[in-house]
Amino acid sequence: MRTVSKSSEHKLPPAEMEVLACLHRHGTATARELRESIAPYRPMTHGSIVTLLKRLEAKKLVSKEKGPIGKAFLYRPVRQPHTTLGGAVRRLVQRVFHGDSVALVASLFETKAPTRQEVDKLQELVDELRRAKGKKRPE
């Protein structure tokens, strides 16, 4: 059996990345549920979704178990989202925004203004980052 290096986990083809990201949002899902969820922005056949899930399973990024009804399998991500999706975000920031993560965030908010709840969550994140930086630096 082929082993997958940690660095190759972060180099998933776009279709595999989208299926994995969708699965992370669902927690557990059938191939049908994933196909229906992805359909508005990336229509795929059921067979294509199953093929992508098999590839992700072979890479040990997804596990499956027999569902409670019928022949359907329930799929679940094996790792936390930041572990497998972080590499894609880093590449996006580097390739599209030349390493400027602030430009990425600004671009997101130009595309879709954040809600009040999102602004509050972002403020909590900024506060947390400041606290963490403060702990690392001697005063």
Q: What pLDDT is recorded for position 133?
A: 83
Asked whether the predicted pLDDT for residue 138 surpasses 60, the reply is no
The CATH number assigned to the domain holding 47 equals 1.10.10.10
Asked whether the predicted pLDDT for residue 17 surpasses 50, the reply is yes
For tokens 């590449």, name the residue: 91
Q: How many domains in the chain? A: 2
Output 71 or 118, whichever has higher pLDDT: 118
Tell me what the pLDDT averaged over the chain comes to: 85
Query: Tens of pLDDT along 127-136?
Result: 998 988 877 6
Asked whether residue 90 is assigned to any structural domain, the reply reads: no
* Structural domain containing residue 13: 6-81
Residues 6+ apart with CB under 8 A from 92: 104
Asked whether residue 20 is assigned to any structural domain, the reply reads: yes
Residues 131 and 73 in one domain: no
CA distance 53 to 33: 12
Q: Give mean pLDDT, residues 54-80.
A: 90
As a whole-number percent, the residues of the chain with pLDDT over 90 amount to 51
Asked whether residue 27 is assigned to any structural domain, the reply reads: yes
Asked whether residue 35 is assigned to any structural domain, the reply reads: yes
Q: Band of the pLDDT at 10, cuts 50, 70, 90?
A: low
